[in-house]
Amino acid sequence: MQFGRTTLSKFVIEHTRGQHSEMGALLIDVAAAVKTISAMVGKGALSGFSGLAEAINVQGEEQKKIDVMANEAILRHCEWGGQLAGMASEELDVPYAIPEGYPRGRYLLVFDPLDGSSNSDVNVSVGSIFSILMRPEAGDAETADYLQPGTEQIAAGYAIYGPATMFVLTVGSGTHGFTLDRESGNFILTHPDIRVPEDTREFAINTSNERFWEPPVQRYVAECKAGKTGVRGADFNMRWIASMVAEVHRILMRGGIFMYPKDNKDPAKPGRLRLLYEANPMAMLVEQAGGAASTGRVRILDVAPDALHQRVPVILGSKNEVERVERYHHEHDAGTDRPFVSPLFSDRSLFRETA
């Protein structure tokens, strides 16, 4: 029985009263789109949306049919309500203009319609990520309106399509998780006020890129892999799903650190993940849950975007680990980082000159 339990609709109405009352209706439209995408993803190959769409998006990536359908689902569910001045999607070259005949509002919706879609064909969890910004007044948005730092976000969230579909949301007062009850069609609050532990012994990174990482990341991962025999004095576990939604969801549920750092594999790209569609919303969610999010050198939410599809390095999760990685970057930049050396061979040993 779901009577008396908090639904997503009830939650957003209660938490958006006043200045952002119109945003509640927008969030309910986003949730409706999530239900549509969940149904498509849940059918797998039976949906008819598997395989490539024979198109390349603005990121230079091959689009899957499910990417295109997820993008359309969000656009169609959200364009008509009168809350939006425009939308921007990872799958679109330029912002999406609200069609003629629909009223305009003050809000801007930016989203990644299906994060980790390369996993969809092998039945691994994927998700949708979104962020809500605001322009000064109602009307048609311009590209410059979207170029706001993450600190200006009004709300952010993601949906994860796994064994259960969950909708994780922040409106600036904590991070909260809702699980889709497939019988009633309602999202039910099941994880109120999620908190990320400050300490962790679990890290997520794609180690196939290790040779391209900067020294601070190599240093951190080497320490984790050394376990009890190394400077950290504790064993760590490594995870990698190749779906940011799944990685962040695991961190919100039990802690950990996720790293997609800067590397020199493609020097033209300062990072791999998109600031507006991925990094900013996830950073807001993690910070609202007590975690931290950094590029390695600065707080993600403080980065001022200069392009719609700008990429940044991302290091987020348990606060103490993120701060350690950030400290390693600062030490490296200052030239004060040094590899760990056994005390037997330290500065005062027989084998090295004293300082």
- Assess whether 252 and 166 both reside in one domain: no
**Residue 263 banded pLDDT, cuts 50, 70, 90:** very high
Classify residue 44 as left (phi > 0), alpha (psi -120 to 50) or beta: left
Residue 299 parent element (H or E):
none
* Assigned domain for 183 exists: yes
* Assigned domain for 97 exists: yes
Task: Tell me: pLDDT of 38 over 50.
Answer: yes
- Assess whether 186 and 290 both reside in one domain: no
* Assigned domain for 350 exists: no
Q: Beta-carbon neighbour count of residue 167 at 10 Å?
A: 25
Structure tokens at 127: 């998700």
User: At 197, is the secondary structure helix, strand, or coil?
Assistant: coil
Q: Beta-carbon neighbour count of residue 64 at 10 Å?
A: 20
User: Per-residue pLDDT averaged across 32-45, rounded?
Assistant: 94
The pLDDT mean for the chain works out to 92
- Assess whether 131 and 221 both reside in one domain: no
- Assess whether 165 and 212 both reside in one domain: no
* Assigned domain for 349 exists: no
Q: What is the pLDDT of residues 106-128, one digit of tens each?
A: 999 999 999 988 888 888 999 99
Task: Tell me: pLDDT of 278 over 90.
Answer: yes
Task: Tell me: pLDDT of 186 over 80.
Answer: yes
* Assigned domain for 2 exists: no
- Of 191, 218, 235, which marks where a domain is finished? 191
- Of 191, 212, 230, which marks where a domain is finished? 191
Q: What is the pLDDT of residue 344?
A: 52
Q: What is the pLDDT of residue 121?
A: 81
- Assess whether 90 and 134 both reside in one domain: yes
- Assess whether 151 and 247 both reside in one domain: no
Which whole-number Å values give the CA distances from 230 to 220, 234, 257, 332, in the listed order? 11, 8, 19, 20
- Assess whether 23 and 162 both reside in one domain: yes
- Assess whether 147 and 223 both reside in one domain: no
Q: What is the pLDDT of residues 134-163, one digit of tens each?
A: 999 999 999 999 999 999 999 999 999 999
- Assess whether 206 and 153 both reside in one domain: no
Q: What is the pLDDT of residue 209?
A: 95
Domain of 284, in residue numbers: 202-343
- Assess whether 179 and 211 both reside in one domain: no
Indicate the residue type of 229.
T
- Of 141, 162, 191, which marks where a domain is finished? 191
Task: Report how many domains make up the chain.
Answer: 2
Q: What is the pLDDT of residue 355?
A: 40
- What CATH number has the domain bearing residue 32? 3.30.540.10
* Assigned domain for 196 exists: no
- Assess whether 168 and 288 both reside in one domain: no
Q: What is the pLDDT of residue 345?
A: 47
* Assigned domain for 227 exists: yes
- What CATH number has the domain bearing residue 248? 3.40.190.80
- Assess whether 287 and 213 both reside in one domain: yes
Q: What is the pLDDT of residues 281-329, one digit of tens each?
A: 999 999 999 999 999 999 999 999 999 999 999 999 999 999 999 999 9
